[in-house]
């Protein structure tokens, strides 16, 4: 199974894993993407995409006046891709992704990447695999 993690934004962190039941997931591709068409093409091969949901919290709303929301646009691309290519989407909160997989745990597991957006995308996949899928070696 091919699973992608997405940390949506102006700099969208993307990580793609090969997952085989009973084995350690293999991170085989990762990068920061700024183009919707490149994102779409990169993710077409996936069976599942785990992404960080974007929510505008009331206490942050004033800071966001007159700003665009690129994370919401990226999520729209993901939803279109999922619908057209029959890919399952899993939505997570930012807190969910960071709840268990801190930088130390990522490093110990061999998944630490020196880019915060890619690291967050990795966290979302690993959180899904550890707490929902539960069929691989983590």
Instruction: Output the tens digit of pLDDT for each of the chain's 138 residues.
Output: 999 999 999 999 999 999 999 999 999 999 999 999 999 999 999 999 999 998 766 766 666 666 677 899 999 999 999 999 999 999 999 888 788 999 999 999 999 999 999 999 999 999 999 999 989 888
Q: Give yes or no for a contact between 97 and 58, defined as CB atoms under 8 angstroms apart.
A: no
- pLDDT at position 90, please? 97
* Helix axis angle, 36-43 to 70-85, nearest 10°: 40
**Nearest CA among 138, 124, 122, 128 for reference residue 29:** 122
Output the pLDDT for position 60.
65
What residue spans define the domains of the chain?
A: 2-54+69-133
Q: Is the pTM of this model over 0.85?
A: yes
What is the reported pLDDT for 69?
Answer: 78
Task: Kindly report the CATH number that applies to the domain delimited by 2-54+69-133.
Answer: 3.30.420.10
State how far the alpha carbon of 105 is from the alpha carbons of 25, 65, 99, 124, 134, in Å: 15, 37, 11, 13, 17
């Amino acid at each position: 199974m091919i699973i992608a993690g997405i940390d949506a934004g102006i700099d969208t962190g993307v990580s793609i894993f090969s997952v085989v039941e009973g084995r350690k997931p293999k991170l085989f591709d990762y990068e920061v993407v700024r183009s919707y068409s490149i994102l779409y093409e990169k993710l077409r091969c996936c069976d599942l995409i785990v992404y960080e949901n974007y929510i505008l919290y009331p206490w942050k709303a004033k800071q966001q006046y007159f700003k665009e929301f690129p994370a919401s646009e990226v999520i729209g691309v993901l939803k279109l891709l999922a619908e057209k290519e029959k890919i399952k989407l899993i939505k997570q909160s930012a807190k969910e992704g960071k709840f268990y997989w801190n930088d130390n745990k990522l490093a110990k597991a061999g998944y630490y990447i020196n880019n915060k957006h890619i690291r967050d995308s990795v966290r979302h996949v690993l959180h899904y695999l550890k707490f929902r899928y539960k069929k691989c070696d983590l």
